[in-house]
Amino acid sequence: MSLCQVCHLDSKKHSKKLWSLHQQTQTCVFCQKSGSEHSEKLWQMHKIVVEKGQHCSEHKKDEKLYPIMLGSGRAGVARVCKLNADPPYDRELIPIYMECTECNLFLGGKEEDFADILDGMCLKCFRELIGQTDYWYDIPPIKNVSKKGVN
């Protein structure tokens, strides 16, 4: 019996791929997090997104990938397309995003992190699937107020 240092479960409760992910210090190309922060399904989903995004339909080939950070957002990945122009305007960075499997809109950071649980859907589509469409799901809970303060 050997325990996983990441999730503290027995090695027999892991698939071979998940065990190797948890034991290695690989970094996900899509989100730049370690392999230990991914489930096996999420690792595969991120890998597929990068493989699809790397291909440039205009040039009919796979382009190089570079890390990118737009504004104060999270770090991501972009492909570099070569343009028919003079340097330094001969290259264009095209960010790679993950799309919702239902509505094809791009996912946000939390939706990308939990894509394996949400089955690749955005929160809106997932809520429609499970029937959480009433307005009161969006109302934050009211905290109890007593004389001593907020509980």
pLDDT of the residue at 121: 94
pLDDT of the residue at 149: 56
Question: Which DSSP category does 118 fall into?
Answer: H
Which residue type, as a one-letter code, is found at position 1?
A: M
Tokens of 64: 């190089």
State pLDDT tens for residues 35-82: 778 888 998 899 899 888 888 777 677 778 888 887 887 888 998 888
pLDDT of 151 strictly over 60: no
State pLDDT tens for residues 86-145: 888 888 888 999 999 999 999 998 999 999 999 999 999 999 999 887 777 777 777 766
pLDDT of the residue at 122: 93
pLDDT of the residue at 88: 83
pLDDT of the residue at 139: 74
pLDDT of the residue at 5: 60
Tokens of 125: 């589509």
Per-residue DSSP letters for 11-25?
GGGS-HHHHHHHHS-
Q: Which residue has the higher pLDDT, 1 or 75?
A: 75
CA-to-CA distance for 18 and 35, rounded, in angstroms?
9
Q: Which residue has the higher pLDDT, 49 or 23?
A: 49
pLDDT of the residue at 148: 59
Tokens of 80: 């570099």
